[in-house]
Structure 1
Amino acid sequence: MTTAKIGIIGGSGLYQMPELKDVEEVRVDTPFGSPSDAFIVGTLEGQHVAFLPRHGRGHRFTPTDVPFRANIYGMKLLGVERVLSASAVGSLQEEYAPLDMVIPDQFFDRTRARGRESTFFGEGIVAHVTFAHPVCSDLGDVLQESCKAADVKAHRGGTYLCMEGPAFSTVAESNVYRSWG
């Protein structure tokens, strides 16, 4: 099977990566079902990369229905060690303009109430995984340098708040989230 060390998950609007060279479409089976789509494995700037559109090509999956465990497990099967995930998001910070890049260092997950499995563990496997520092600072450094080289305004640090979709927050919710920083 073709392998890659870097995985890229494309969010809304990012369904393909024409910059990849020597591409191969790879389908994998996982204990968590099928991933969102076939992985597109190829070379980007000399690096072996596995690309996966989060919502599937053609945006077939709503945020709630994305098979996230199958997606991540599939990345692992391909040998991926580092994952970059691009998302189309809004901002609660006025200094973040549209098209700015944000390199978060923390997450706040508001999707756990949806009543579906959110872990790879269970059925006799018990593990407690630290999530104190969920973002790779080395990868953040590379992203920041890449943004600088591409003349893209980047904000380093911050919290990515993920909420259940497809919906946006109410004004009251946004005010609470903004007060959290």
Structure 2
Amino acid sequence: MSYDLAIIGGTGLYQFPGLENIERTAVDTPFGPTSAPVVSGTFAGRRIAFLARHGEGHSVPPHRVNYRANVWALHHVGARRVIGVNAVGGIRDDMGPRVVAVPDQVIDYTHGRYTSFCDVDGAEVKHIDFSEPYTASLRADVLAATARAGVPVVDGGCYGATQGPRLETRAEIARMRRDGCDLVGMTGMPEAALARELELDYACIALIANWAAGCGDEAEISLPEIFENLRVATAQVPKIVAAMLG
């Protein structure tokens, strides 16, 4: 079986709105259980697959997500193009709350995660080219879809992936800004690299939930505001996907 697209949903996106003819598949992977069953169905007349990165009840924190199982499962069921939807904080001045961005670079600050399918005895060692961490053709498709759907989007930017689940200090964000990061999130890696190892097309839709520490005008990050901003931004995702599939 094949799918026109697979979506990995982040914080605030635990089911895919408008999905019809739903089937749920618990995939047995060599890397343990996935965060949630793979949910497949019809959307905009096309078959897509969906997987909730944090579980359907947000029970899995970012540093405990079984990224290998999730990516392997989507590949196993026939997905070849994958979009990761990620809730992030904004660092750059044009990346404030409720903005949708499609980053083109990554800096990985995570630690202690299984970052490769090579981390298994006897596995083939793959040295992937990761100069461009997101697939150019799929990024272009996402950006073209945002234009057709009338969804404002920021094209490009560097995603800084941190360990979580805590938010970052002002000093950490200041360092990330100096490093060239425009966005900060906790789930962008190793997901993108694992997709590359399996030769999946992969792109990220980043939903900006809040200003990162020390950015914007807010003296303190408010969790209720984060979730309201995410609710608004997440509503754009089905529009983008429908435009991609139309």
Q: Is the 8 A contact 1:109 1:162 kept in 2?
A: yes
Counterpart in 2 of 1:146? 145
Q: Is the 8 A contact 1:25 1:39 kept in 2?
A: yes
Q: Structure 2 unaligned segments of length 5 or more: list them.
A: 181-246
Counterpart in 2 of 1:94? 93
Is residue 2:151 matched to residue 1:161? no
Deviation at 1:46, TM superposition (A): 2.6
Q: Would you tell me which structure has more helix in proportion to its own residues?
A: 2
Higher relative contact order (CA 8 A, sep 6+): 2
Counterpart in 2 of 1:63? 62
Structure 2 counterpart of 1:85, one-letter code:
G
TM-score by length of 1: 0.92
Counterpart in 1 of 2:114? 117
Q: Deviations over 1:69-114 (max 9, x none)?
A: 0000000101111110111110111111222111111111111x22
Deviation at 1:143, TM superposition (A): 1.4
SS of the equivalent of 2:177 reads helix
TM-score by length of 2: 0.69
Q: CA RMSD in A?
A: 1.4
Deviation at 1:141, TM superposition (A): 1.6
Q: Is the 8 A contact 1:102 1:157 kept in 2?
A: yes
Q: Structure 1 unaligned segments of length 5 or more: list them.
A: none
Counterpart in 2 of 1:34? 33
2:78 & 2:106 partners in 1: Cα distance?
25
1:121 & 1:10 partners in 2: Cα distance?
25
Q: Deviations over 1:36-67 (max 9, x none)?
A: 01111012223221100100011010111111
Structure 2 counterpart of 1:43, one-letter code:
T
Moved more, 27-36 or 16-25: 16-25
2:10 & 2:41 partners in 1: Cα distance?
19
2:114 & 2:15 partners in 1: Cα distance?
28
Q: Is the 8 A contact 1:23 1:43 kept in 2?
A: yes
Counterpart in 2 of 1:6? 5
Counterpart in 1 of 2:73? 74
Structure 2 counterpart of 1:69, one-letter code:
R
Moved more, 118-127 or 164-173: 118-127
Relative distance call for 1:152 and 1:5 in structure 2 (3 A) is closer
Q: What is the correspondence of 1:127-138 to structure 2 with a 5 Å cutoff?
A: 127-138=126-137
Structure 1 counterpart of 2:5, one-letter code:
I
- Deviant stretches of 4+, over 3 Å: none
